[in-house]
Amino acid sequence: MNAAVNESEWAALIQLIDDPDEEIFQAVSQRIAACGLSVLPQLEQIWETAEHPEHQNRLDALIRRIQFEDIQKQFDHWRLQELPDLWSGLLILDQLNHREDRSDALCTSLEQLRRNAWLELNQYLTPLEQINVLSRVLFEHNSFKGIDPVREKIENYFLGDVLLKRTGNQMGLGLLLLVLAEKLDLPLHAMQVPGLFVLGSPNILPSRQRTGIESIDFYVDPQTGELFGRVEIEQFLRRVHQPLEDVYFSPLTNPELIGVWLKKLQQKAEENGDKSLVDQIQELVNSL
């Protein structure tokens, strides 16, 4: 039991969770939430034995509140770092969709993929050959696959689910490619091409000599791992009636990329009618 709450106070607080007075419930919830993660095992045990659905719903909301406040603290610490690591940020946000701590299993799965790719890489490969190796390891050797957008579920956005189920949407698989590229020190970054989540590999010349589309040597479709060139991007932009703006080809920082991911995730949560998740995501977006 948390040192800030003795046994008698805890018993009283738990009993008052069922109080029909909303003001009393809010005060009780605030007191329990202040105890932090240490009270979650007790709350979950009480939730399992609760007889009334309304009592269970209140307990569930309280558990989610405590968990989210901890996610917020971790996320704030992550975003304030000088160079936030993409994998660390996504690992924190995996908890939005899963109560249990999956970090050990996810880190093990990611490390296996990283090592598989590392064993096939060498210093003599060109950037195109390096990214092609990474793509082949992921989509051919380990059978990762993209999902039809019509059948897309919210879990397809979360990198943890992509890793464990080997299935993801365009953004989920793209994040996996980016995390592995970051850990393998391969030249790959995300860009804000309108209506398209695509990855690009910068050319070897200094960025001050080339800007915009000229700064990218080739692109990767994260849904399939296929590599393609400038012509396809130009064709796509013409098809969606967008100008060829330099800003589309600038690399996103990891916090910017997380922000893009959160907004896409929020749209899916809205489609699902999950107001609680929508509100939580908005709080995280506001903090960026």
DSSP letter at 79 equals H
Say what angle helices 86-93 and 170-184 make with each other, to 10 degrees: 140
pLDDT at 242 over 70: yes
Question: By percentage, how much of the chain surpasses pLDDT 70?
Answer: 93
The mean pLDDT of 197-226, rounded to a whole number, is: 84
Q: Which of 162, 176, 209, 216 is nearest to 193 (CA)?
A: 216
Q: Which of 237, 135, 113 is nearest to 188 (CA)?
A: 135
| Predicted pLDDT at 27 | 83
| Predicted pLDDT at 115 | 97
Higher pLDDT, 31 or 204: 31
Maximal CA-CA distance, the chain: 71
pLDDT at 25 over 80: no
| Predicted pLDDT at 1 | 46
| Predicted pLDDT at 208 | 57
Q: What is the mean pLDDT of the chain?
A: 88
Q: pLDDT band at residue 131, thresholds of 50, 70 and 90?
A: very high
Per the CB < 8 A criterion, the answer to whether 165 and 250 are in contact is no
| Predicted pLDDT at 56 | 76
Model pLDDT for residues 62-89, shown as the tens digit of each residue: 888 889 999 999 999 999 999 999 999 9
pTM of the model: 0.87
The mean pLDDT of 91-117, rounded to a whole number, is: 92
What residues contact 192, with CB distance under 8 A and at least 6 apart?
A: 247, 248, 250, 252, 260
Model pLDDT for residues 136-191, shown as the tens digit of each residue: 999 999 999 999 888 899 999 999 999 999 999 999 999 999 999 999 999 999 99
Say what angle helices 7-16 and 22-33 make with each other, to 10 degrees: 140
| Predicted pLDDT at 252 | 94
Per the CB < 8 A criterion, the answer to whether 177 and 221 are in contact is no
- Tokens in use for 238? 């013409």
| Predicted pLDDT at 86 | 96
Model pLDDT for residues 221-239, shown as the tens digit of each residue: 999 999 999 999 999 999 9
